[in-house]
Amino acid sequence: MLPEDALAELLAQLRESLRLVGTVSGTSGTRVLVNVRGSVLTLPRLASYSPIVGDVVHIQGPAPYLVLGKTA
């Protein structure tokens, strides 16, 4: 693999880790249960977001991840 290709691949992986999209499956206290790529994550959320089961939400990363809310 050429160095340029390796760098492009690393940058693509970094971009993917910075913003995720998932579906709300429930809540636990102030945390949100979100299905992301086949896994359920329990994540903190912004105080301004009130999760509803089924919401498709944007998640900011990298870890620790934070649920930003859903698209209007």
Mean residue pLDDT across the chain: 91
> CA 60: distance to chain centroid?
6
Secondary structure of the chain: what % helix, strand, coil (to 5)? 20, 45, 35
Domain residue spans of the chain: 19-70
Could you report the per-residue pLDDT of 12-33, keeping only the tens digit for each? 877 776 889 999 999 999 999 9
Bond preceding residue 62 cis, omega within 30 of 0: yes
Could you report the per-residue pLDDT of 49-61, keeping only the tens digit for each? 999 999 999 999 8
* Superfamily grouping for domain 19-70: Nucleic acid-binding proteins (2.40.50.140)
Give strand pairing partners of 23: 35, 56
39 and 6 in contact (C-beta within 8 Å)? Answer: no
47 and 32 in contact (C-beta within 8 Å)? Answer: no
